[in-house]
């Protein structure tokens, strides 16, 4: 399989398991492919390059948002989907069957498998068993690479560049899988990172060190107000009540991590607000009408990125 350049296409047949697998050149290539997918959808709604190709969407935990995005991506490429997106736990797939057996069964029917699984490492285990490409749609506290890719694509698409940007991550930085993966990806670029969280939800030390080792300028703070006037990107996440043993502390803190129209008045005019969604109060709905609110455009980019990856791993561009 070769690209337009005559070189073999690096993406064909690849599994998409972790953000760590991509170098900057590959990321740039994925984003170019994503641009093309966006153009196709805008101009014609979709294409049929994946006609007669079948995706098995195997979701061991429900995630309507992610499964809908992959399903739409496959359908807009002209492909078909076997949706195994709900209740897998009750079905024959899990009648004591091992994950490798389930995967080896599904690859008889499908040309590509998207897997969501509650256990870290499941995606790698599946990829090892499979002879078709496996796309990791989240494996527990592990990775969710397509989310990180769509986040990075959104920054680049909205602001026209990655290098030189000031980016703040806000909220639950300790457990937030999306923040971890995005931080890793951003470490490949020349960016300044601010981490804004309550003390007990600070970014894990290893990730902090990874970013520093990559030469990034990083800082930490407790309040969005400290950074709002400087940043190009404000990446919001949920601060979940369940993380706190001291509920008074939660009540005291949560207001520090809510974006309001008032707060947005202090922000730069060309910055953007992102959120992996769903939100449960971190961004006031009144902010939605602000052109800097990029989170729904971010959702749409998820579909474009997944289209690029599905077409790419199946060698159809």
Nearer to its own copies, 106 or 167 (CB): 106
The tokens for 21 are 């697998």
Closest by CA to 182, choosing from 146, 223, 219, is 146
Residue 275 CB, nearest approach to its own copies (Å) = 10
Closest separation between CB of residue 280 and its own copies, Å?
4
**In the range 106-165, which residues lie near its own copies by CB under 8 A?**
106, 108-111
Look up 292 and say whether it is catalytic. no
User: Which among 89, 84, 22, 25 is positioned nearest to 55, based on CA atoms?
Assistant: 84
Is 217 an annotated catalytic residue? Answer: no
Please tell me the distance from the alpha carbon of residue 197 to that of residue 201, in angstroms, as a whole number.
6
* Nearby residues of 62 by Cβ (< 8 Å), 6 or more positions away: 85, 86
Of 67-106, which residues contact its own copies (CB under 8 A)?
68-69, 71-72, 75-76, 78, 80-84, 86-88, 90-93, 95-98, 100-102, 104-106
User: Is 65 designated active site?
Assistant: yes
What SS3 class is residue 169?
A: strand
Nearest C-alpha neighbor of 132 from the set 306, 307, 14: 14
95 included as an active-site residue: yes
* Closer residue to its own copies, CB minimum distance, 27 or 314: 314
Q: Considering 7, 52, 95, 269, which one is annotated as catalytic?
A: 95
Given 116, 238, 306, 316, which residue is catalytic? 116
Say if CB 176 and CB 219 are below 8 A apart.
no
Active site residue 144: yes
Structure tokens at 29: 């290539």
Give CA separation, 316 vs 4, 24, 44, 308, in Å: 12, 22, 18, 9
Q: Which residues are catalytic?
A: 65-66, 95, 116, 144
Q: Which residues bind its own copies (CB under 8 A)?
A: 44-48, 51-54, 56, 62-66, 68-69, 71-72, 75-76, 78, 80-84, 86-88, 90-93, 95-98, 100-102, 104-106, 108-111, 277-280, 285, 288, 296, 299-300, 302-303
């Amino acid at each position: 399989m070769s690209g337009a350049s005559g070189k073999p296409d690096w993406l064909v047949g690849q599994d998409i398991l972790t953000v760590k697998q991509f170098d900057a050149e590959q990321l740039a290539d994925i984003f170019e492919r994503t641009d093309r997918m966006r153009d196709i959808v805008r101009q014609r709604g979709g294409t049929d390059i994946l006609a007669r190709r079948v995706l098995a969407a195997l979701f061991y935990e429900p995630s309507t948002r992610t499964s809908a995005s992959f399903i739409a991506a496959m359908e807009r490429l002209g492909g078909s989907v076997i949706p195994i997106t709900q209740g897998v736990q009750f079905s024959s797939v899990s009648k004591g069957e091992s994950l490798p057996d389930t995967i080896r069964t599904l690859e008889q029917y499908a040309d590509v498998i998207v897997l969501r699984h509650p256990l870290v490492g499941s995606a790698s285990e599946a990829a090892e068993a499979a002879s078709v490409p496996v796309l990791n749609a989240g494996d527990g506290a592990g990775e969710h690479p397509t989310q990180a890719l769509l986040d990075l694509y959104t920054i680049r698409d909205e602001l026209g560049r990655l290098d030189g940007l000031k980016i703040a991550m806000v909220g639950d930085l300790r457990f937030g899988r999306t923040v971890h993966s995005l931080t890793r990806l951003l470490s490949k670029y020349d960016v300044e990172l601010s981490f804004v969280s309550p003390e007990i939800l600070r970014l894990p030390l290893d990730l902090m060190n990874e970013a520093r080792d990559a030469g990034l300028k990083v800082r930490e703070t407790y309040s969005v107000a400290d950074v709002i006037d400087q940043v190009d990107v404000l990446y919001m996440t949920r601060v979940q009540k369940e993380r706190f043993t001291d509920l008074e502390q939660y009540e005291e803190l949560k207001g520090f991590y809510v974006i309001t129209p008032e707060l947005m008045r202090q922000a730069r005019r060309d910055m953007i607000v992102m959120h992996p969604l769903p939100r449960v109060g971190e961004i006031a709905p009144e902010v939605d009408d602000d052109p800097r609110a990029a989170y729904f455009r971010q959702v749409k980019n998820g579909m474009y990125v997944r289209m690029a990856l599905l077409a790419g791993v199946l060698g159809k561009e």
